[in-house]
Structure 1
C-alpha cells in the first residue's frame, strides 16, 4: 500500500527528520504534535530566566496550543477535526496536569469523542509538558 506524507506549513516544524503526517489508505497518522508556536517556535505559557529556570508556567496555554497545532496539521493534510478517531496524549507531570488537560480536552471534544489514551512520561525532547499522537480516518 502506497502512502503519502504531509508537511504542514502552518504548524511548528518537526524537531527531527519525520513528516507531520502520513496517509495510508483512508488513515491519517499524525506524528507527535506539541504546543510550540509555529511562528516563534516558543512554548506558549512558558517563560524562562536567562539561567534556564521557569519564571512562568501555564499548562492550560500549552493544552490550547497543542490542539490548535493538531488542527493545523489535520487541515494541511486534507482532514478535519471531526475525522480524529484516536488520540494519545503524553504528559510530563500526570499528577499536576491531568485534571487541567481533561477539562480543556472536554472543551475541544464535547461533540466529537475519539478514543483516548493518556500516558505519563519523564520528559519530551523540547521544554514542553504535553504532546499528542493522533489518528484520523479520511474520505477519498
Structure 2
C-alpha cells in the first residue's frame, strides 16, 4: 500500500485547520480548494490578489498549479476541476478567464471535467477552485 503524502508548496502558508493543501497517494493527487491569496512571504497574513474576479481567479489557478507541480503533476493530468463562485453574475466572466487561461497553457489533451457551484466564501473572496489529478 502506498503512503499518503501531504503537499504544501513554498508559496503556501500552513493550512489554518487540520487539512492539507494537496494530498498524493499512488498516482492520485487531490488539490484542496484554493483561493486567490498571494504567495506567502515573510509571515505577512494572506491577502487576495485583488478585488476583482480576474486577479483572484488567475492567482487561484496559480495556487492550484503550485500544488500540482509539488506533487509531480501538471494541468494535463487533471481529470476534474471544481469551481466555487460567490456571485452568479460572475459565471460568464469566469468562463472567459478559464478558457483563455487553459488556451495559454497549451494543453494538448481533452479538457478536464468541470463543475461550477455557487457558495459563500469569507468576505472579499470571489472564487475557490479544487482539482483532482491522475499521474502517469
| TM-score class, shorter | 0.7 to 0.9
* Structure 1 partner of 2:48: 43
Unmatched segments (≥5 aa) in structure 2: none
Q: What is the root-mean-square deviation in Å for CA atoms of aligned residues?
A: 1.7
Question: Which string of whole-angstrom CA distances, capped at 9 and with x for unpartnered residues, describes residues 76-133 of structure 1?
Answer: 2221122111000100112x21111100100122345100000011x12463110011
Unaligned stretches of 5+ in structure 1? 47-57
1:78 to 66, 72, 77: 72
Q: What is the number of residues matched between the two proteins? A: 126
Runs of 4+ aligned residues of structure 1 deviating over 6 Å after TM superposition are none
Instruction: Write the distance in 1 (CA, Å) between the matches of 2:12 and 2:68.
Output: 10
Question: Aligned equivalents of 1:98 and 1:12: distance in 2?
Answer: 29
**Is the partner of 1:66 in helix, strand or coil?**
helix
Per the alignment, residue 33 of structure 1 pairs with 34
SS of residue paired to 1:97: helix
Residue 60 of structure 2 aligns to a residue in which SS? Answer: helix
- Specify the alignment match of 2:102 in structure 1: 109
Q: TM-score, normalised by structure 1?
A: 0.81
- Rounded Cα–Cα distance in structure 1 between residues aligned with 2:30 and 2:50: 27
Give the deviation of 1:16 after TM superposition. 2.0
- Residue 134 (str. 1) matches residue 128 (str. 2): no
8 Å CA contact 1:30–1:135 kept in 2: the answer is: yes
Mapped partners of 2:14, 2:47: distance in 1: 12
Over 3 Å counting, the alpha-carbon distance change for 1:63 and 1:12 in structure 2 is farther
1:13 Cα shift?
Answer: 4.1
